Structure 1
Amino acid sequence: MSYAVLRMQKIKNPGALGRHIDRSSNGEISIPGNTDKDSIKNNIHWDKDGKSYTQKEWIGYTKENPLSKRISDEVLRRYKLGKKIRKDAVKAVEYIMTSDPFMMNEIFKEKEVYTSWVKDNKLFLENIFGSENIISMHLHLDEKTPHLHAIIVPITKDGRLSCKSFVDGKKDLAQQQTDYAKVMSKYGMKRGEAGSKARHQKTQAVTRNIQNYVSR
């Protein structure tokens, strides 16, 4: 049985992360070395409102809205405390959701299955953070394994920027991995081993049919 892979990292300064997940920089395409150049056009991106974009459309969108701006704008709009945010504060978190190459390519053979997979991933994150905190999602089909990235700004209902309020240490992360595996069990996955790392293998081309499935 394949492993359900869920990885999270905290973001204090997006740096090069935006170029990687957006596949764009200053209105130009940005191509990581581990991608299939001919498959970049198959990537799908979603903004905060759930609107879907082709890779070409997303490059245009991110020229004015790079990841660093998307994060800072969201914090400025919804942060309600009077005190200044620390420079080293966790301003966002990134999640990566995938499995092994064989499993992911099996999922992406059928529209009904892969649209359901994307929806289940989105709902999983909404149940933890709330839909309002997910500021973008990115389906990468240009690497060797299909996978999702999600960028989340951890703002509480009372307007605090607090990653700890949603993910309080390793125990919470471990529980998330357990819960995620339960959601993914319908696709033939089980909980991944502690410390395992997903390796992206070659993917098949997938059409844009999936793009509107997770739109609001």
Structure 2
Amino acid sequence: MAHLKKNTRGAVPGLAVHFERKTDHHTNKEIDVSKSYLNQDLMADGSDMLSRFSERLNDVYCMKRDDVKALATWIVTLPEELTEAPYEQQSAFFEATMNFLNERYGQENAVATVVHYDETTPHLHYAFVPVVFDDKKSRYKVSAKEVLTRQDLQTFHEDLDQHLKKVLPFYEQGILNNKTLPFENVAEIKKYNDQFNTLKAELADIEDNIRAKQAVLKITDQALTEVDLAEQQIDAFKQDLSKNLFGKTVLKPDDLDRFKSVLGTMKKATLQSQHETEKLKQTLGQVKAQLVDVQADYQKLNAAHQTLQADNQEKQKMDYVMRDMLKNDYGVDKLSHTDVEARYVLYKLDHEERTKNKKEAQSWLKILTTVREDPATKIAPSRLDWGIEQVKALINRIIELTRTVFKESSL
């Protein structure tokens, strides 16, 4: 539904051309210029993206390095449930999304808010300069790292979904549909996607290698055929010229022999090339075998990917059930991120899944003590106190075990 990208200064002019449709000659074949009149510029202040971008950079501090991510862009796609909705409702959806983004990242930092209706699926481009206040130097500065934190990205979809449900009466299903993967699976999905993309790249390289070697084979075979044909023509020509009406030759046979010798040298070089070609054929066979292996790995990985997607859908269904139960049976609309982390630790302790890593155990203790001090937590204090005592005891056991191992190794 929503996708974030961080961009350098150098990318901004190209983005402006695409966002504001400054040309009719688009490299994106999905753009239907006959529908471009439907596009909306939600800022519409008489300025343009490049001017707003330059003005904002003049107001804040930004390092002069070329690799600084000076512009962030969110692309928010219209949900499937609204694809057949009236134009007014679709416009209301994008305007409400813009308001959410302005509130989250600062309206003063926005440089473009454009809705495209002339591509396959309507979507919003929201571009902004990621700005934070530098307490040490008492000034505003550009820092995508500090604005677009892990916490911000983890909560973005949920926060946007709640905002849209709150302000749009016709918005029911929400953006967190079955196509949105739960966060706990993101690392696993990334691992599979990385492997999948690596195999695809390897497969493409092998196929390019095969095509190149096939082209060499074709050229070598053609060269051999041409040399053989030339030799046959010279022999026939030599016989025809050996005598004429006056018993004299127009061209000396020795000249033709020398020419034939040159061709022989060419043929020898070509045969050498043919020998090398045979080696290429063997290599080609090996590459084809590798290709078969890669394709087999690709099929296995693809099957695992499909299984993982199916598993994610089941987990998403369970997530909906739990959300519905919490909201309608217990009156809990939303769990804070700290409560979620604390409940995860308590679940581990309940099921005897105790870590053997001191650093991780200390992290658990910090999580539980932080939530214990939070008056807004939904977790019973007695349960948190129990968890804190369990983790403290776990840390002590880890320390004692480490000491014992150290003593034994020193002996």
TM-score clears 0.5: yes
Q: After the TM superposition, which parts of structure 1 deviate over 6 Å for at least 4 consecutive aligned residues?
A: none
1:161 to 126, 129, 142: 142
1:29 correspondence with 2:20: no
1:137 correspondence with 2:113: yes
Mapping of 1:92-107 within 5 angstroms?
92-100=71-79, 102-107=80-85
Aligned match of 1:212? none
Distance 1:181 1:80, change over 3 A: same
Give the distance between the partners of 2:15 and 2:111, measured in 1 at CA. Answer: 15
Aligned match of 1:51? 44
Structure 2: runs of 5 or more not aligned: 134-138, 190-411
Distance 1:17 1:131, change over 3 A: same
Distance 1:177 1:18, change over 3 A: same
Give the distance between the partners of 1:19 and 1:80, measured in 2 at CA. Answer: 26
Give the distance between the partners of 2:119 and 2:82, measured in 1 at CA. Answer: 12
1:122 correspondence with 2:122: no
Aligned-pair CA distance for 1:131: 0.8
Asked whether the 8 Å contact 1:135–1:151 carries over to 2, the reply is yes
Distance 1:52 1:71, change over 3 A: closer
1:90 correspondence with 2:69: yes
SS in structure 2 of the partner of residue 128 of structure 1: helix
Tell me how many residue pairs correspond in the alignment.
168
Distance 1:138 1:11, change over 3 A: same
Aligned match of 1:16? 14
Higher strand share: 1
Higher helix share: 2
Aligned-pair CA distance for 1:119: 2.3
Structure 1: runs of 5 or more not aligned: 54-60, 196-216
Aligned-pair CA distance for 1:110: 4.6
Aligned-pair CA distance for 1:180: 1.6
Aligned match of 1:40? 36
2:174 to 189, 195, 207: 189
1:173 to 153, 162, 178: 153
Distance 1:119 1:159, change over 3 A: same
RCO (CA 8 Å, sep 6+): is it higher in 1 or 2? Answer: 1
SS in structure 2 of the partner of residue 143 of structure 1: coil
Distance 1:143 1:90, change over 3 A: same
Aligned match of 1:58? none
Give the distance between the partners of 2:92 and 2:155, measured in 1 at CA. Answer: 23
Aligned match of 1:75? 57
Q: TM-score, normalised by structure 1?
A: 0.67
Greater radius of gyration (CA):
2
Distance 1:69 1:126, change over 3 A: closer
Asked whether the 8 Å contact 1:44–1:140 carries over to 2, the reply is yes
Which amino acid in 2 is paired with 1:29? D
Asked whether the 8 Å contact 1:97–1:148 carries over to 2, the reply is yes
Asked whether the 8 Å contact 2:24–2:33 carries over to 1, the reply is no
Asked whether the 8 Å contact 2:73–2:125 carries over to 1, the reply is yes
Which amino acid in 2 is paired with 1:121? T
Aligned match of 2:386? none
Aligned-pair CA distance for 1:86: 2.1
Aligned-pair CA distance for 1:68: 4.9
